[in-house]
Amino acid sequence: MSTLVSGYKRGPPSAPAGHLSGVTPDGHLYWDDSVLRTELDRFYYRNWLLVGREEQLPKTGDYLARTIGTESIALVRDKEGQVRGFQNVCRHRGTQLLEEPCGSGLKSIVCPYHAWTYALDGRLTGAGHMGNVQGFSKEDNSLFPIRVESAAGFLWANLDPKAGPLTSQLGPFLSRIAQFSMAQLRAGPTHTYTIEANWKLLVENYSECYHCAPIHPELNRITPYNTGDNDAFFTEGKGKFSGGYQTFAGDYTSMTLSGYTRRPPLPGMTDEDRKRIYYYVLWPNTFFSLHPDYLMVHRAWPISPHQSLVENDFYFDPQAMAQPDFDPSDAVQIWDTINKQDWHVCELAQKGTRSRNWHGGRYSEQETLVWDFDAYYQEQMGRNGP
């Protein structure tokens, strides 16, 4: 079985041409309200986003509600067993329908304002005092649908009715991880962070380890900053993802407090995979970190130009979780430490980018993927590259 990554070396000469001569984006892109509105429209409302897991909706009437920018969406398991996606908005007066982030036991969806009632497939089934309203029909007032697909055990949503299928955006990435049977993993702990930094700074930070030696001594001890390869770039157009891997030093076996793990490797891991952690950014906001014994996922959701919500989820092999001595804290605790170190420097960067005198800086040889993200971002925004 082939390993997940092979090919490109970190930094030049195999990095995308131009990154060593490039300049980072101007500071106003991290602060401007109008820029964020454009980003939400072009990136968050027109791309496939990871919004949940299949096992979160095991039964009819189970639901998830998500906030994406100014939009609220709901995913509901209907009576036919299908996961349906809707704008979480009543067709009458625009009232938000489902208030909790998740729940179960829905028989129907009832607006809390005027009790308009919708079936779990989105059809309007009840609307009091509307029978004599000229031109009104229940058929024309179903919930606004959104597209939902399932892949690798995850649920993905797209608010753009004209978008291509999930495979058109992430097909090459999904092919890479297919050998690991991600659908069989089960959720462990989740941490949520509110960070005073723009979402792009979080992606840029995840995309390089230039900062790892001074900022992350725990991480750098286990996977030195100057090890590993990159093999996926946004600017190559082979799928909306970028990244590569880092290699364990010595005989370390996982990113844990000790650097070692007693958990068995995930199914599909080769001997070579077991010496690596794979790090990928899935456009625009998901960080996919595959360790030998667990999967870690971050999702960065913009709240404002200078504030983001990050969800950090851990997934493990259910057979390992069933063991009486299963304890994920060795992984969760070290990443909580690393996360907080990252969030602190991202918040410092957010403050500094507001300076009137700072209009971008130069990329180092270690920032190939930062350049790649920034260049792709500028392209998607219709601007000149960095």
Copy the structure tokens of residue 267.
Answer: 């199914």
Q: Residue 371: what pLDDT?
A: 96
* Residue-level pLDDT at 383: 62
Domains and CATH numbers, the chain: 19-46+167-381 (3.90.380.10), 51-150 (2.102.10.10)
Give the up-direction half-sphere exposure of residue 27: CA atoms within 13 A in the CB hemisphere: 13
What's the pLDDT score for residue 17?
Answer: 60
**Residue 15: what pLDDT?**
56
pLDDT at 263: 97
Ramachandran category for residue 343: left, alpha or beta (phi over 0 → left; psi -120 to 50 → alpha): alpha
- Two tokens, residue 316: 């493990």
Residue 242 φ/ψ region, left for φ over 0, alpha for ψ in the -120 to 50 degree band, beta for the rest: beta
Strand locations in the chain, DSSP E?
Answer: 49-53, 63-68, 71-77, 83-87, 102-103, 109-110, 117-118, 124-126, 145-151, 154-158, 186-195, 229-232, 241-247, 276-282, 286-290, 295-304, 307-316
Contact between 289 and 297 under an 8 Å Cβ cutoff? The reply is yes
Question: What is residue 381's DSSP assignment?
Answer: H
Q: Residue 175: count other Cβ atoms within 10 Å of its Cβ.
A: 11
Chain segment 352-383, per-residue pLDDT in tens? 999 999 999 999 999 999 999 999 999 999 86
- The span from the CA of 255 to the CA of 267, in Å, is 18
Quick one: DSSP state of residue 264?
A: P
pLDDT at 22: 82
Residues of the chain short of pLDDT 50, as ranges, are 1-13, 384-386
Condensed to tens digits (0 to 9), the pLDDT of residues 218-263 reads: 999 999 999 999 999 999 998 999 999 999 999 999 999 999 999 9
CA-CA distance, 289 to 280, in Å (whole number)?
6
Determine how many CB atoms are found less than 10 A away from the CB of residue 77.
Answer: 22
Q: What residues have CB less than 8 Å from 355, skipping those under 6 apart? A: 27
Q: What is the pLDDT of residue 19?
A: 73
Cis peptide before 284 (omega within 30 of 0): yes
pTM, full prediction? 0.93
